[in-house]
Amino acid sequence: QVPVVESGGGLVPSGGSLRLSCATSGRTSNINTMGWFRQAPGKEREFVARIKWSDGTTDYADSVKGRFTISRDYFMNTVFLQMDSLKPEDTAVYYCTRRDAVATIETMKQFDYWGQGTQVTVSS
């Protein structure tokens, strides 16, 4: 088992900020990307942000660009999501995800691991 553990969720007012953390361990040399998804009640899980582990390049959903910042602590195997200017529509369970890439003689294999989720609620 590869643990992925989120923390930092909570209740914040509209316009407020929150910082999520996600720590992983085990086989960390295999990490290709880490990122965040979210799922609101009655809606499909959606991509939020990801960061490439090796060089720190980032990717964001249009809905959060300019408001959220993903970053990493490479040696602590931790990813962060700084969430600013929060809106009620950001309310969701936020899931940290880790994608590993393992090169073998036969092929390149990918493995996805998910955290348990942390609730973010933005009040209006």
Q: Which residue is associated with the tokens 């060089």?
A: 55
The closest of 36, 43, 2, 3 to 21, measured between CA atoms, is 36
Choice among 60-74, 82-96, 101-115 with the minimum mean pLDDT: 101-115
Tell me what pLDDT residue 1 has.
82
Q: Is 12 exposed, middle or buried (0-12, 13-18, 19+ CB in 10 A)?
A: middle
31-76 pLDDT, tens digit each: 999 999 999 999 999 999 999 999 999 999 999 999 999 999 999 9
Answer yes or no: is pLDDT of 104 > 90.
no
Answer yes or no: is pLDDT of 26 > 90.
yes
Average pLDDT over residues 16-25: 98
